[in-house]
Structure 1
Amino acid sequence: MNIKKITLLALFIGLSVVGAMIKIPAVVTSVALDAFPALLAAVYFGPLAGGIVGGAGHMVSAIIGGMAMGPLHLLIALEMFVLVCLFGSLYQRGRKYAAAASFFIGNALIAPVPFIFIFSFAFFTALLPSLVIGSFVNTVVAMLLIPRVSRVFRDAYQRA
């Protein structure tokens, strides 16, 4: 990976930082609009690059939110990495709606399941409304932006 590609990934991590500052009211303060830049990066630059942006974006969002769950944010960053990689893989195979559905369902409903066992079912249910809203907004914004700006970023990354 050369310096131009690293710079483009840093740009998308920066966009995640901006999105991380747009919080959705929640029990945990890391629910934000930090995922849609990662979804864009997964489509433009590949699933692995998008996953890196997703994991880093979540960590920045968690830091901005005060790391309310401490080191458990590393688990969430790993989940984001996997979900964004899955989104990118499906989207690049032409399965756009499956990609959107898998990210939404995975982020809103499946990713918080470990916290039933770590904390409680009450914590899980308290998280659900904000996660559903956050996942929905991140997914919709990404699905709207991908076709509109894809030529610019895809060409820039391939020329790098």
Structure 2
Amino acid sequence: MKNQIKTRQIVLLALFIAMSVVGGYIKLPNPITSSIAFDSLPAYLAALLLGGIPGAIVGFLGHMASAGLGGFPLSLPIHILIGIEMAIIMLIFNFCAKKTNIIIAIVIGIILNGVVCPATLILIPGMGMPVFLGALVPLTAASVLNIILGVLVLKPIKRAIPKEMVGIFKGGL
């Protein structure tokens, strides 16, 4: 039984990671980078459905795949930092959704992904305020779309996945 649960966990994580890779191909036009895409939608969905840690794994790997598809335009080290930020955002998003309500989680997710995450670029030499300001609007718009679409497809997906599959993570809603 334990092996069967681990296999199901791996399969679900792989499915959400694959959806992130596909989402990484759907880019949103912006002046700063080619890595703003729909790669985080599956991560937000995984954070809600499976829990914070699976969502964090999908968030990190999804961002890395999307950035890789764009040729790591901000450099590999910076995209690793952004991937770590995405993982942390998924943990916080899951926590807020479970402890408060989905609306507060959505607002916090948008602020963290759309404002706080690019604000860290201000501290990186050679980037500063111009990169932050250039990324702010497109990244916030992408955050809104990724989070809202993830929340909208949550119920139909919850109905489609057998309860015993979703329950194996014990961290979702």
TM-score > 0.5 by shorter chain: yes
| Preserved CA contact (<8 Å) 2:9 2:168 | no
> Which amino acid in 2 is paired with 1:46?
G
- In 2, the alpha carbon distance for the partners of 1:154 and 1:101 equals 29
Matched with 1:80 is 86
Q: Percent identity?
A: 34
Relative distance call for 1:90 and 1:73 in structure 2 (3 A) is same
Matched with 1:24 is 28
Q: Deviations over 1:18-67 (max 9, x none)?
A: 11100011211110011110111111111111111011100000000110
Superposed, 1:149-160 pairs within 5 Å as 149-153=157-161, 155=163, 156-158=165-167
Let me know the Cα RMSD of the aligned residues: 1.6
Superposed, 1:10-159 pairs within 5 Å as 10-26=14-30, 27-70=32-75, 71-118=77-124, 119-153=127-161, 155=163, 156-158=165-167
- In 1, the alpha carbon distance for the partners of 2:140 and 2:109 equals 11
Asked whether 1:4 is paired with 2:12, we answer: no
> Which is worse superposed, 84-93 or 133-142?
84-93
Query: TM-score under structure 2 normalisation?
Result: 0.87
- In 1, the alpha carbon distance for the partners of 2:89 and 2:68 equals 20
Relative distance call for 1:125 and 1:91 in structure 2 (3 A) is same
- In 1, the alpha carbon distance for the partners of 2:41 and 2:100 equals 18
Deviation at 1:152, TM superposition (A): 2.8
- In 1, the alpha carbon distance for the partners of 2:20 and 2:103 equals 23
Unmatched 5+ residue regions in structure 1?
Answer: none
